[in-house]
Structure 1
């Protein structure tokens, strides 16, 4: 049924359409993820209370059991919550097609990711501000938005564990809609690993969300009180000026003389007065005739505006694991994961009061970001452009990340009968390989072709070898190695060749896709959007999601996505005097 009503703003997932008079019919295919939900909620919460419509392609994901903290590692397997994307065959990964999961439904990818809440390095945001010549994106401004967004549960109740996490209250918020923090209970051998890595020479980090992530410590989770947090939590029911319509797909936007006038969903027009937005942004733009003219011509798509940067610049983090079997006496995971009755009883307890073993096992990770002299002394590093070298040598910029206690048996259950293992994934930061997304068909319902070109750049290949070698050194340090029984996943040997082959065989995406509608200065050949989120050459169209972010921030990028939406909201609230 058609709904006739006027709205001040329409947010199509990450694409937002602004001051609008519209006849809306609920037909759209976008995701209300971290950026879109933050943008919609922030606009609706402004003093003038504009009317906001948020369109979501998937469902509302209201099943409470999808929020169990200890099961957040398997939510992405729910078919109705995942678009099920894959990459193209990766030339440097043995031709493998890699999982490229994206969340489907309200909350977007925050509903299916692994719940690691990390804001990145202050130098990431200062570089962003410098690249677009706008202090709106500087660390000081972004940190203020981070504090406003969150309610941080950083209290550690057990006195002997308080030395592992001591966040400064000034780095965190206590009134935001997104609940993040530490789990109340931890796997029994987590502190053993934290201590062993410190003994091996790794600096302790008591708060990785301070703006300096370097060092190893407790991971801050996008979960609290045993419940996963998602972007949908920002959409307060008290906002009666915010309307949410789910199960709705937009294939394209409609322009007249480079001015957005409508959106089209399933062949029907939704009339718009003004418009800005984003989500599956490159796809929507290209099917709307905004993108590389040569690419659009291949599919006989009428060219409204030749914008070569659209679909280019894809960057993403990737990782590979080291998995070792541990002495079962060092932990009690077998007592839980090998006992179906215990797991069912724990689920019943969680449903009653949100407590119990499902708020302990797999709920608290160790995490750290490190620099590497082995990387910076390599010829591959010295061959990088000088500005890239200078950035990677900045004070707060890491070269790689290590996680401890990743419960990989949820992903590969067939590999595990003994759950006393520890999985240590290592993530490369500041990858230099740059990929692209391209059209595969003139049909706007066909998915894009995703090609991140993992390991294409020689720096990435060298860096992967060096960071994995350091991870192996940590695992062989006597404080850790004394309890290791055997190895499940690791390279065949410590040679460069075998380590690189292991990456090719086992590399996975972190689902941190960034930069395909890159923000930049007017005239930048690789940019599609300005620092006000406006698409170059198109009136009334703005984009505010991870596609515009010009820096692959050194974190798990859901936090950056939240900040992209919050920053766009601040820009719009200022431009339209919504807080007056």
Structure 2
């Protein structure tokens, strides 16, 4: 006989783990089942801080998705990696822990008509999630990192903070930004990210943090089953009563919560007969509930690199990355006590979020809807991001060893107005959807791409930074609009921040599939809690938003069921 649980949660990424752990810890101790399509990901060696940039290459931990050919990116298919196994994408991401702007959450609350999403409420959840480690290396000036204790948590399951050792050119580069007229920010996670900051990492003392940490210690009322991909919901009329996984059935007495992510939650819904009727009918899937909004509204951040070789002595990277023996010895040291070069190189980065006056004065900005313009003018909402010290040599094919003494800046496009889509392409529930983010398809996006890259080049060409450059490894031909845009189309990558495919909104909103209580509108006993529901593409690297989305859904379930 199939076992019945109070709640079933599908997907163990940041959202799903947050939902499952919070429900299981409720005082009434409901029976919770967490189903994960991948494996346990238990090997501690998968959490080396400095190798966080490589983990996604592990094919057992990555669904290996690609986009469709992108019309505005020279018809390129772009990597669309998603994590597989306990921890979901937090097990393979790049460890950036940023929460975004106060204005993001106030806009979320406005769109859905619920103050539970306002910044003050969301910040309280963030503080409950984290144990923040404020230590910075001895001798480092606090102008580079000086968070207020009141903005951070001290007893949550997720350990975040600064690297225990920094590459010696990291503070120097922040100084270069300051000399070039870019403001400094002592804490990008205060609710106002504007300015240049030291990156807060989802790691501590050389060990990466992932959503798996929320499940430890595991309460006896929480059951976790791995290697259990969910193909579809079990429905009785318009009631969700369970899920099917590889021929097995699992039943929920209270609710099913889908947290499979913005690319896979729509797939489970569609194969359950919930979604755009024309797509379901084309693949002979009986329509239970036609919901045109499901699969639409896909949003994502994207980025391009700027890479320059540097004068001898500017960095120590060539001596480390160019010597396999040193890297092997460093790994053995990390295995022994979690210290050494793998806790230093590419572990402490600079990160900055900035406004663009030229973008605001553009005709493309002026053509936006009034609500969007008001949001983008909020004092805390940035228009683009720069990230420093990215180990780009692992990402450029045939990167020359002679160029390992380099500096890399990533330039991120924010607030894209394009709405992509995920589309059914098979009646087989194990076949992925088609993913089409439509990068750079909107005129505003192209204008924002040009202006953000131009502003980043203002730094790259500043005297204090440029004096140590030797040669361009990756950069646009010139600062003309044509060359800047062409550089984007040739080099753009996804930031893997997919959001918005089962959008939350107010009842009656044509683009909404989920209400402010996370309930799938039209189906009882079913909630969606992951980035697919978030109606704002937050001004950050979105793993943090996924965590707080799960925590918010759990709060609403605990309150509704008096758990």
Q: What's the counterpart of residue 554 of structure 2? A: 569
Q: What's the counterpart of residue 277 of structure 2? A: 293
Alignment of 1:428 with 2:426, yes or no, is no
Alignment of 1:481 with 2:461, yes or no, is no
Residue-pair matches, total: 558
Alignment of 1:459 with 2:444, yes or no, is yes
Residue 163 of structure 1, CA deviation: 2.2
Please give the per-residue CA displacement for 1:383-433, whole angstroms capped at 9, x wherever unaligned.
111111111011101000000111111223621313211110100110111
TM-score with structure 2 length normalisation? Answer: 0.97
Alignment of 1:234 with 2:234, yes or no, is no
Residue 238 of structure 1, CA deviation: 4.5
User: Aligned pair in 2 of structure 1 residues 144, 271: CA closer, same or farther (>3 Å)?
Assistant: closer
Query: CA contact under 8 A between 2:389 and 2:408: conserved in structure 1?
Result: yes
Runs in 1 of length 4+ with deviation above 6 angstroms?
Answer: none
SS at 1:162's partner residue?
A: coil
Paired with 2:218 and 2:366, the residues of 1 have a C-alpha distance of 55
1:103 to 80, 83, 87: 83
Alignment of 1:332 with 2:316, yes or no, is yes
| Further displaced range: 267-276 or 107-116 | 267-276
| Further displaced range: 84-93 or 494-503 | 494-503
Q: What's the counterpart of residue 19 of structure 1? A: none
Alignment of 1:371 with 2:355, yes or no, is yes
Please give the per-residue CA displacement for 1:421-451, whole angstroms capped at 9, x wherever unaligned.
1110100110111100000011111110000
Please give the per-residue CA displacement for 1:34-85, whole angstroms capped at 9, x wherever unaligned.
0000111111111222221111110011111110000000100000000000
1:177-256 residue pairs with structure 2 within 5 A?
A: 177-256=157-236
Residue 495 of structure 1, CA deviation: 1.2
Paired with 1:276 and 1:270, the residues of 2 have a C-alpha distance of 10
Paired with 1:250 and 1:274, the residues of 2 have a C-alpha distance of 18
Query: CA contact under 8 A between 2:231 and 2:244: conserved in structure 1?
Result: yes
Query: CA contact under 8 A between 1:260 and 1:274: conserved in structure 2?
Result: no
Q: What's the counterpart of residue 151 of structure 1? A: 131
Residue 573 of structure 1, CA deviation: 0.9
Q: What's the counterpart of residue 428 of structure 2? A: 443
Residue 157 of structure 1, CA deviation: 3.4
1:528-567 residue pairs with structure 2 within 5 A?
A: 528-567=513-552
TM-score with structure 1 length normalisation? Answer: 0.95
Query: CA contact under 8 A between 2:7 and 2:253: conserved in structure 1?
Result: no
Q: What's the counterpart of residue 244 of structure 2? A: 264
Paired with 2:109 and 2:159, the residues of 1 have a C-alpha distance of 27
Paired with 2:113 and 2:501, the residues of 1 have a C-alpha distance of 19
Q: What's the counterpart of residue 20 of structure 1? A: none
Q: What's the counterpart of residue 327 of structure 2? A: 343
Residue 265 of structure 1, CA deviation: 2.0
SS at 2:297's partner residue?
A: coil
Q: CA RMSD in A?
A: 1.2
Q: What's the counterpart of residue 526 of structure 1? A: 511
Q: What's the counterpart of residue 142 of structure 1? A: 122
Paired with 2:253 and 2:517, the residues of 1 have a C-alpha distance of 19
SS at 2:299's partner residue?
A: coil
Q: What's the counterpart of residue 23 of structure 1? A: none
Query: CA contact under 8 A between 1:41 and 1:235: conserved in structure 2?
Result: yes
| Further displaced range: 412-421 or 481-490 | 412-421
Q: What's the counterpart of residue 169 of structure 1? A: 149
- Structure 2: runs of 5+ lacking an equivalent: none
Alignment of 1:281 with 2:265, yes or no, is yes
Q: What's the counterpart of residue 6 of structure 2? A: 8
Paired with 1:231 and 1:343, the residues of 2 have a C-alpha distance of 28
1:374-385 residue pairs with structure 2 within 5 A?
A: 374-385=358-369
Q: What's the counterpart of residue 84 of structure 1? A: 64
Alignment of 1:391 with 2:391, yes or no, is no
Q: What's the counterpart of residue 402 of structure 1? A: 386
Q: What's the counterpart of residue 74 of structure 1? A: 54
Q: What's the counterpart of residue 53 of structure 1? A: 33
Query: CA contact under 8 A between 1:183 and 1:363: conserved in structure 2?
Result: yes
Paired with 1:110 and 1:308, the residues of 2 have a C-alpha distance of 30
SS at 1:10's partner residue?
A: strand
Paired with 1:238 and 1:389, the residues of 2 have a C-alpha distance of 45
Residue 118 of structure 1, CA deviation: 0.2
Paired with 1:262 and 1:208, the residues of 2 have a C-alpha distance of 41
Query: CA contact under 8 A between 1:252 and 1:288: conserved in structure 2?
Result: yes
Please give the per-residue CA displacement for 1:319-349, whole angstroms capped at 9, x wherever unaligned.
1111111112112112211122211111111
Query: CA contact under 8 A between 1:11 and 1:54: conserved in structure 2?
Result: yes
Please give the per-residue CA displacement for 1:463-489, whole angstroms capped at 9, x wherever unaligned.
111111111110111110111111100
SS at 1:120's partner residue?
A: coil
Residue 274 of structure 1, CA deviation: 3.8
Paired with 1:168 and 1:272, the residues of 2 have a C-alpha distance of 43
SS at 1:321's partner residue?
A: strand
SS at 1:159's partner residue?
A: coil
SS at 1:8's partner residue?
A: strand
Paired with 2:397 and 2:168, the residues of 1 have a C-alpha distance of 22
Residue 268 of structure 1, CA deviation: 4.1
| Further displaced range: 293-302 or 261-270 | 261-270
Query: CA contact under 8 A between 2:137 and 2:165: conserved in structure 1?
Result: no
Alignment of 1:113 with 2:98, yes or no, is no
Query: CA contact under 8 A between 1:465 and 1:500: conserved in structure 2?
Result: yes
Paired with 1:434 and 1:368, the residues of 2 have a C-alpha distance of 25
